[in-house]
Amino acid sequence: MSWIYWAGLYESKFEAYCAVMWVEGDKRIHGPNPPKEVELYRTSRGKFGVRFR
């Protein structure tokens, strides 16, 4: 299964973590099956993002 990248990059790790909590808790995003993995990643330019699968 491939990663789904959340649209948007964040300046701080805290902002990205808040997005992780939102992805995990919002059933409109993932439907009845919650994602098995949600993680933060850091780009080469130093911004943070969220991906899940």
Confidence tier at 24 by pLDDT (50, 70, 90): confident
For the chain, percent of residues with pLDDT exceeding 90:
51
Joined tokens for residue 7: 């649209």
| Mean pLDDT of the 3-12 span | 93
pTM reported for the whole predicted model:
0.79
Domain parsing of the chain, residue ranges = 4-52
**Looking at the predicted structure, is the pLDDT value of residue 31 above 90?**
no
Contact 50, 23 (CB under 8 A): yes
Measure the CA angle with vertex 42, ends 12 and 17; round to 5°: 45
